[in-house]
Amino acid sequence: MLDKLVNRLGTNFVRITVLFLVLVGIILFFSSQIDNYLNARLFNRISISVAIIALIAVGQAMVVLTRNIDLSLGSIVGCVAYFLGGILAAHPGIPPLLVPVIAMLIGACFGAINGYLVAYLKLPAIIVTLATLAIFRSVLVESSDGTSITTASLPEWLIEFARQNAFVIGDFRVRWIVVIALLVALIAHIYLTRFRAGRQFFAVGSNPDAAEFAGINVRRIVMQAFLVSGALAGLAGFIYLARFGNITVVAGLGLELKSVGAVVVGGVNIFGGSGSIIGVLLGATLIDLLDTSLVRWALVSEFWRDAVLGMLILLAVAMDTFMSRKLLMRRNKMSDAELDRSTATTAVQSTRLVADNQAKTP
Amino acid sequence: MNSNNFSARILAHIMSWEGFLFTVLAVLIVVNASASPFFLTVSNQINLFQLSIEKVIVALVMTLVIINGEIDLSVASIMGLAACAFGFLFQSGVPAGGAVVLALLLGGVCGAFNAFWIAWVGIPSLVVTLATLIGFRGFARVLVEDRGITDFPEWFDTLGQQAILGPIPLSMLIFFVLIVVCYIVLQRSTFGRKLYFIGSNRDVAEYSGVDVRRIKGLVFVASGFISALAGVLFAARVGAVRGDVALGFELDIITIVLLGGVSIFGGSGSMTGTVLSILIVLNLRNGMALSNFTGHLQTGALGILLILSVMVPNIREAVARLWKSFRATPT
């Protein structure tokens, strides 16, 4: 019964619907627990913080789609916010429209380092970005010399920008920041679903060997993914700077884990090849909603946030594994016992395939 | 014996990764010893170990995990959780001795939790331990919130540091015993051979009758238990427990193991390599500290070292290719 439904509607649609229902469920749950929860202020508050995490999560999704991971994003956001603040303090006359471009360029430079090491030197992304997570952060700490960026040193328009509404509907205020994030997500969605170059991301992620044989330049796609995720982290850094004004060396700490969380909860397969930007947006919203709501929930201390986040990621991946197993079972029409063994091995085989691939290709 | 053959074997030894590590270590020690007259004193050498003893203890078990073809990113969070659980229990009136035992058990449970998802459900260890890296740290923060817990009994504050065998303190003794145990398990037992087997080809191992789940499970439980032990030792050495105990240690630990020549894809590496790499990293840190480099710069340097260590196969291949083309050109 359920299988037939899944078959007709497609797994992606079902996944997003489930995610949406979970989101609604969480909102209903908290509105029964917290007074004055469900109102326009909730939207206003959540939408701003989701904007930053959504930008990073979209970049992370591009990387994860190609069967890689970028753990250095938090450090990139911190670096860009800090360095951009320094540049603006020294040259307050830079035209406002140029500033986000500079931010994205700085971010893309960091992304290029990751991309070069992963795509061209064939090093495992998890190791490279674990290392650059530390390296970028130590670059920031060393070059800051213990000083921090303050709101007073930034040009007036930047702080104003973070507070400006694009449009207002009743009590719902939609800031420019939110509009930018949604625009970026929309562009990424269209690019990934409607463009030949975008579809290549899925091809590379679901089977790098087949993609290579099909004439896709795998290296270029992987490099592109890291460049985009770096540039989007740069844009997020710009918004971070505008929103908070005061930037210390710990800015953006831990954002990489949240972005991985948003991507995985949003239904992107951690081994690449499947997922959608809409899912990622829902995942980012879900994580941020839990984050902000747990702080206001009287019954449980706010310190539960990370514990809940970790378990949520695990649950999402377990559900994903379960669903793809079902899919495989239906396709191959195998007995349960057979399936149990083969799915366990396919997961390993696919990882090993990447591993062999990275080891063999000169 | 053919002299040409003999020199080739010597060359092969030097060219091996362990040989290379040994050379680097020797150079480091000579440089450090000539820079400071106190470097080679017994107290400095013990001090050098004591400052990172918890990390190097975990690195030994991490070697087994990575050779097995998996990774455990949650070790630092388990260290933190065990330390926080100890502090929490102690504060709620459990005697310190009992709290230590419970904290160690909790570490084993955390490892079993990882093992369940990885070995039985079949989710990749990278994802599982990334989630528990966040989750276990979250539970640690739930236990102690933003407090710091101190005022432990005196025997606990000196736990691990009091010299019990000549000048050697307990934590170092644990480390040495663990080296021997891990060496025997990995290189002298069937369990160790199975670890390599699973790491190099899981499917073939499974079809050859190796109980892959049980072995993977055991390795993760061991990793959780030893991490908890390291976390408690850390709490004892620092004399206080906070939510961010051992935060970010996984980077150092994984760097040490990979630098020791263990392949990130599993199936190859050795205990000797890890021990040599531990000595190199400790000496490097000590040397950098003596030259007034800050902790953050040291972390950055470790990051670069990590990237270089995974580039080793590439470098080795390039050197081999150069060597071949050099040999091929007629002189």
For residue B95, with 0-12 CB atoms within 10 Å meaning exposed, 13-18 middle and 19 or more buried, which class applies? exposed
- Interface A:B, Cβ pairs < 8 A: 143
Strands A172-175, B163-165: parallel, antiparallel or unpaired by DSSP?
unpaired
Give the closest-approach CA distance of A316 to chain B in angstroms.
Answer: 10
Give yes or no for a contact between A110 and A233, defined as CB atoms under 8 angstroms apart.
yes
Q: A311 or B288, which is more confident?
A: A311
What residues of chain A, 124 to 163, have a C-beta less than 8 Å from chain B? 124, 126-128, 130-135, 137-139, 141-142
- The tens digit of pLDDT for each residue in A108-142 reads 999 999 999 999 998 989 889 989 998 999 999 98
Buried b (16+ CB within 10 A) or exposed e, A294-329: beebeeeebbbbbbbbbbbbbebbbebbebbbbeeb
- From CA B249, how far away is CA B256, in angstroms rounded? 11
Give yes or no for a contact between B283 and B25, defined as CB atoms under 8 angstroms apart.
yes
A352 lies within 8 A of chain B by CB: yes
B128 lies within 8 A of chain A by CB: yes
Phi, psi of A289 (to 5 degrees): -60, -45
Q: DSSP secondary-structure letter at A165? A: E
Q: What sign does the CA torsion over A216, A219, A225, A227 have? A: negative
Report pLDDT for B136: 95
Report pLDDT for A261: 87
- Orientation angle between helical segments A304-332 and B125-144, nearest 10 degrees: 160
Buried b (16+ CB within 10 A) or exposed e, A11-25: beebbbeebeeebee
Report pLDDT for B46: 85
Residue B210 is which amino acid?
Answer: V
- Residue B136 and residue A310: Cβ atoms within 8 Å? yes
**pLDDT, one tens digit for every residue, chain B (331 residues):** 455 666 666 666 556 778 888 888 898 888 888 877 777 888 888 888 888 899 999 999 999 999 999 999 999 999 999 999 999 999 999 998 999 999 999 999 999 999 999 999 888 898 899 899 989 999 999 998 888 888 888 888 777 677 777 778 888 899 999 999 999 999 999 999 999 999 999 999 999 999 999 999 999 999 999 999 999 999 988 888 988 888 888 888 998 998 888 888 888 889 999 999 999 888 888 877 777 777 778 888 888 888 887 887 677 777 778 888 877 765 5
- CA nearest to A324, candidates A279, A261, A275, A280: A275
Residue A204 pLDDT level (bands cut at 50, 70, 90): very high
Both tokens of A133, joined, read 């997570």
Of A135, A138, A301, the CB nearest to B142: A301
- CA nearest to A233, candidates A20, A11, A53, A50: A53
pTM of the entire structure? 0.83
Report pLDDT for A75: 95
Give the closest-approach CA distance of A157 to chain B in angstroms.
Answer: 34
Report pLDDT for B1: 47
DSSP codes joined into one string, B268-305: ---HHHHHHHHHHHHHHHHHHHHTT--HHHHHHHHHHH
What residues of chain A, 307 to 346, have a C-beta less than 8 Å from chain B? 307-311, 313-314, 317-318, 321, 341, 343-345
Name chain B contacts of A353, Cβ cutoff 8 Å. Answer: none
Give yes or no for a contact between A47 and A179, defined as CB atoms under 8 angstroms apart.
no
3-state helix, strand, coil in chain A (%, to 5): 75, 5, 20
Both tokens of A165, joined, read 């509404």
- The tens digit of pLDDT for each residue in A59-110 reads 999 999 999 999 999 999 999 999 999 999 999 888 989 999 999 999 999 9
Give the length of chain A: 362
Residue of A nearest to B128 (CA): A314
- From CA B198, how far away is CA B184, in angstroms rounded? 18
Residues pairing with B320 in the sheet? none
Report pLDDT for B182: 95
Name chain A contacts of B264, Cβ cutoff 8 Å. Answer: 124, 127
| Residue listed under structure tokens 């369940």 | B116
Helix (H) or strand (E) holding A188: helix A176-194
Q: First vs last Cα of chain A: how many Å apart?
A: 49
A253 lies within 8 A of chain B by CB: no
Residue B182 is which amino acid?
Answer: C
What residues of chain A, 3 to 62, have a C-beta less than 8 Å from chain B? none
- Residue A301 and residue B145: Cβ atoms within 8 Å? yes
- From CA B152, how far away is CA B235, in angstroms rounded? 10
Give yes or no for a contact between A316 and B126, defined as CB atoms under 8 angstroms apart.
no
Both tokens of B206, joined, read 């499974």
DSSP codes joined into one string, B39-76: TTSHHHHHHHHHTTHHHHHHHHHHHHHHHTT---TTHH
Q: First vs last Cα of chain B: how many Å apart?
A: 27
Q: What sign does the CA torsion over B111, B117, B118, B123 have? A: negative
Of B146, B203, B306, the CB nearest to A127: B306
- From CA B256, how far away is CA B285, in angstroms rounded? 12
User: To 10 degrees, the CA torsion angle through A193, A194, A196, A202?
Assistant: 0
Give yes or no for a contact between A223 and A140, defined as CB atoms under 8 angstroms apart.
no
Rg from Cα positions in chain A: 21
Residue A361 pLDDT level (bands cut at 50, 70, 90): very low
Give yes or no for a contact between A16 and A265, defined as CB atoms under 8 angstroms apart.
no
Q: DSSP secondary-structure letter at B241? A: B
Buried b (16+ CB within 10 A) or exposed e, A161-195: bbeeeeeeeeeebbbbbbebbbebbeebbebbeee
Instruction: State the ipTM, two decimals.
Output: 0.80
- CA nearest to A277, candidates A18, A47, A17, A65: A65
Residue of A nearest to B254 (CA): A127
Report pLDDT for B7: 67
Name chain B contacts of A271, Cβ cutoff 8 Å. Answer: 124
Phi, psi of B92 (to 5 degrees): -85, 10
- From CA A106, how far away is CA A73, in angstroms rounded? 13
For residue B68, with 0-12 CB atoms within 10 Å meaning exposed, 13-18 middle and 19 or more buried, which class applies? buried
Phi, psi of B294 (to 5 degrees): -75, 170
Report pLDDT for A230: 97
Name chain B contacts of A311, Cβ cutoff 8 Å. Answer: 131, 135
Give the closest-approach CA distance of A139 to chain B in angstroms.
Answer: 7
Report pLDDT for A360: 45
- Residue A314 and residue B299: Cβ atoms within 8 Å? no
- Residue B141 and residue A141: Cβ atoms within 8 Å? no
- The tens digit of pLDDT for each residue in A163-187 reads 888 888 878 888 899 999 999 999 9
- Residue A117 and residue B122: Cβ atoms within 8 Å? no
List of residues 6+ apart from B256 with CB closer than 8 A? B55, B56, B59, B62, B274, B277, B278, B281
- From CA A275, how far away is CA A15, in angstroms rounded? 10
